[in-house]
Each structure stands twice: as structure tokens, then as C-alpha cells.
Amino acid sequence: MKKLLITTGIFLSLLFVSCEEDFSPRSEFKERYILNCILRTDTAFQTATILRSYNVPGYDGYANTDDPFITAADFRIWQGDNVYKLRDSSIQRSDTSRYNTPIKFYYLKNFQPASNDSIAVRVVLNNGKKLFASTRIPSEIKFGLDSDKSLPPENKSTFIFTWQSEELFTYYLPRLRFFYEKKTDSTTTLMSKVVPIKFVQNGNQWEPVYPIISSNNKIIYQNSALDSAMAEISKGDPNKNNYKIFGANLELLVFDRNLTNYYSSINGFLDDFTIILNEPDYSNIEGGFGIFASYIKQNSGALIKKEYVESFGYKSGLTN
């Protein structure tokens, strides 16, 4: 009992001391700088942003209405011995509920890196603060010979695309689309339809499931998902003959080490048992925060069988 009274007394004394002192979850504000730039090999127009952290009187970060974008920085990219300078620009902001100023960004025209290029960035702000980072553009992958090239396959309920990479650990994002023409009066429009990997039942509704970013080097689609996507393009239109179906294309985004590390940090281990208690803030920016990274986009085509297309009442774009 004596021990209990002593312990309780110590706890109560600490409690009263804590109550007498001012407590605030806010620490001393220090301005930080955030650089975000993801280079793409499928375009010659690159963009980036530089932001500053900001302070607010209370605890609601959305109370800030001053755009934290930093203009007039000396923003340069190195590709070997070549140096490129980015310029700042802006476009009209559609949502002005928080910021009334245009959306600002840095851009670089006529710059299209290739696989395995090593790229570095250096930013010098007006106050002399410097930010550095680098990336190596991912190596090209090779699509597997076991990938299905004619859809849907016979005697199987699923079809598959596979690929191999030289990298030891890489994240990917696949997307399958098929292309078609839709004729309306005298107008013909070329369109595309994204195909989910499957449908799952949620109550009385069937909902599509699409690929997510992962380290898997294959993607498996259910034939029934392709059936549903094919039927959806003409839903409510009795004139099925106005649709002409062409081939399908698997678009695969291949992430560099920096993007892979970023998604790995926010997803944890790739299993169903990991619980993240303290999500890390991944950054590869020296002197600040953010990410300087890159990805490549590769494609693998597949035919859509003529008899399958015609079973929906559509025309096939295949020529005999």
C-alpha cells in the first residue's frame, strides 16, 4: 500500500506540473523548401515545382491562402556535359477556393531523356539556398514471350502480360486499353477504353478493379472484364454496327529507383500483414525535401479476334 501511495503521489505531482506549464504541439517554425520533378521519356516537355513550407496561426494548414510557390529560382538540369535551364510560367487556376493566383510551374522544352541517362538537377533560390538531386532513367524492359497476343485466348478464363527488367527492384504501373471508332451521323471519332483486371461484387453492385503500382512483373486479366469493357462502349446504343474495334495495347510505366523507393516507403512491405504505424517522408533532395525522379513508358500490342468483336455486333478493324 505504501508503494502504491508513493507511486500515485509521484504521478499526481507530475500531472499538476504539466498542467501549470503551457503545452503546445507546435514546434518552432523553420522554413523548408520542396522540389518536385518527375522526368518522362514519352514527352519533350518537362515540368517541376518549387514550394516553401508555411506557418499558420492555428493548426489548420488549409488556412493559408498565400501560394507557397517560389518563383525566379536558378533551375538547371545536367545531362552529361549539356546544361538546360528551366523557366517559370503559369496557367489559369480553375479552383480558386484556396488560392486566387494562377498555377505556377517551371518548364523545359525540347528535352526528352532516354533510358539509362544520368540526369542531375541544381536549384539556387533567391536567398542563396541550394537544392541538389539526381536520377538515372530506367532501363527498358522486355515483354515476355508468354504474354497473350490474341484476345481473348481460347480455353482460358484469363490472359496475361509479362515482362523482365535488368533492375533488381522496380515498381511498375500497367494499363490495358483497346481502341475503337464510333460513327455518329457523318462524324467518326477515334476513342479508347481502359480495361479493368476484374470485377468484384460490393453489395448489389459490381465494381471494376484496376492495376495498382507494384513490383510484380506480370499482370493477369479476366476474360469477363474484357467482355464487360467491350459491352460498355455501346451501352444504350442499339446501333452496334457504328462501332469498329481495333487492337489492344498494354501501356507499362517503369519507375526509376527514386520513384520506386518513394512508393515503397508509403506502401511498406508488399504483403497483406504489414501495418505502418509511422509513415516515413521519403525525399532524395539534398538541402530540402521532395523528389526528383523519372519513369519510362513502354507498350505491348495485342490483337482482338474478329469473331469475338462481331459477337457484340461491332465491326472489326482487322484486315484479312
Gap between the Cα atoms of 256 and 138, Å rounded: 5
Same domain, 95 and 193: no
| Overall number of domains in the chain | 2
CB 292, CB 134: distance < 8 Å? yes
pLDDT score for 16: 41
Q: Are residues 77 and 128 in the same domain?
A: yes
Q: Give the pTM.
A: 0.84
- Give domain status of residue 302, yes or no: yes
Co-location of 147 and 230 in the same domain: yes
Please say which residue of 120, 136, 152 terminates a domain.
136
Cα atoms found within 13 Å of the Cα of residue 65, Cβ hemisphere only:
6
Do both 115 and 157 map to the same domain? no
* pLDDT at residue 62, as a whole number: 73
Distance CA 117, CA 120 (A): 10
Q: Are residues 153 and 80 in the same domain?
A: no
Any idea what the CATH number is for the domain that residue 130 is in?
A: 2.60.40
For residue 43 the three cell numbers come to 514527352
Q: Which grid cell is 163?
A: 515482362
Residue 228 lies in a domain: yes
User: Residue 101 falls within a domain, yes or no?
Assistant: yes
Q: Are residues 130 and 150 in the same domain?
A: no
- Domain boundary (79, 105, 136) is at 136
Q: Compute the distance between CA of residue 148 and CA of residue 195 in angstroms, rounded to an integer.
A: 15
- How far apart are alpha carbons 216 and 208 in whole angstroms? 20
CA atoms of 272 and 134, how far apart (whole Å): 33
Domain containing residue 183: 142-280+295-316
Cα separation of 52 and 157, whole Å? 52
Within this chain, do residues 206 and 255 fall inside the same structural domain, yes or no? Answer: yes
Asked whether residue 2 is assigned to any structural domain, the reply reads no
Domain contains 290:
no
H helix runs in the chain, sequence order: 2-20, 223-232, 257-267, 306-310
Task: Look at residue 56 in the predicted model and tell me its pLDDT.
Answer: 75
Quick one: 121 and 253 in the same domain?
no
Are residues 127 and 158 located together in one domain of the fold? no
15 within some domain = no
Query: Among residues 44, 42, 50, which one has the least CA distance to residue 296?
Result: 42
Do 160 and 132 belong together in one domain?
A: no
Does residue 129 sit in the same domain as residue 159? no
Could you give the CA distance from residue 156 to residue 159 in angstroms, rounded to a whole number?
7
* Inside any domain, residue 158: yes
Closest CA to 42 of 108, 113, 134: 113
What is the C-alpha separation between 146 and 155, in angstroms, rounded? Answer: 15
pLDDT tens for the 320 residues of the chain, in order:
444 444 444 443 434 444 445 555 666 778 899 999 999 999 999 999 999 988 877 777 777 778 899 999 999 999 999 999 999 999 999 988 888 899 999 999 999 999 999 999 999 999 999 999 999 999 999 999 999 999 999 999 999 999 999 888 899 999 999 999 999 988 999 999 999 999 998 888 889 999 999 999 999 999 999 999 999 999 999 999 999 999 999 999 999 999 999 998 877 544 444 444 445 578 999 999 999 999 999 999 999 999 999 999 999 998 75
Report the distance separating Cα 66 and Cα 63, nearest Å.
9
The domain boundary residue, chosen from 136, 151, 172: 136
The answer as to whether 131 is a domain residue is: yes
111 shares a domain with 82: yes
